[in-house]
Amino acid sequence: MTADCLACAEGMDEAEYCAKHPQMIGCVTTPPVAARTCMLFCADKTDPWGVRCKWNGCGGCSECIATARQAREASCRPFCTTKTDTWEDKCMWNGCGACDVCPGLTVQPRPPPAAAPAECKPFCVDKTEGWTDKCNWGGCGGCPACLQPIPAPTAPEASCKPFCGGKTDLWEERCTWNGCGACVECSKEL
């Protein structure tokens, strides 16, 4: 169990609990001033920073300060143990950083995800909105119409398709849609 859980079970807040039990996992104590230094050997070693931060002369390294801050801000929520992702991933999640397995685990920040390949889903072609709009929809950016230069705007079609009347958008908007420009409502002064 974490300090947060144990504190709750004893009817006190985490700070009070950690003051009584500073060695408990999840309790972050302020190291003495001498321990807040960062000696050169700290960066040279290959042990995980969770281990090195406990060494005399390493507690003041930026990696240790960041780890301590994260531990204070983190907790171990129930979903952390029920999810099947790796602990390397889960320890990076909000609400999981203080789980028992995380403090000694060295977790490297995850690089940003690569851009998803552009795709053209069937609904893109089926919808009647203009390609200028559809090309900005998720799943439509890879459609052939989106990969070509954008043509100059054209006047709306001279028709009033049945879908125009069945929508809740303002007529001012609907009159700009392909297939709605000739609707009676569009010929009225808006």
**Structure pTM?**
0.24
Among 75, 29, 20, which Cα is nearest to 53's? 29
Domain boundaries, given as residue ranges, for the chain: 3-90, 112-153, 155-190
The pLDDT of 147-163, averaged and rounded, is 65
> Other C-beta atoms within 10 Å of 70: how many?
17
- Cα–Cα distances (Å) from 19 to 15, 58, 68, 73, 91, in that order, read 6, 23, 16, 17, 25
Distance CA 190, CA 185 (A): 8
Distance CA 124, CA 145 (A): 10
What are 165's two structure tokens? 């009347």
Q: What is the pLDDT of residue 153?
A: 52
Give Rg (Cα) of the chain.
Answer: 29
More confident residue, 14 or 162: 162
Distance CA 99, CA 174 (A): 53
More confident residue, 152 or 31: 152
Q: Are 61 and 53 in contact (CB under 8 A)?
A: yes
The pLDDT of 81-106, averaged and rounded, is 74
Residue with tokens 């780890």: 67
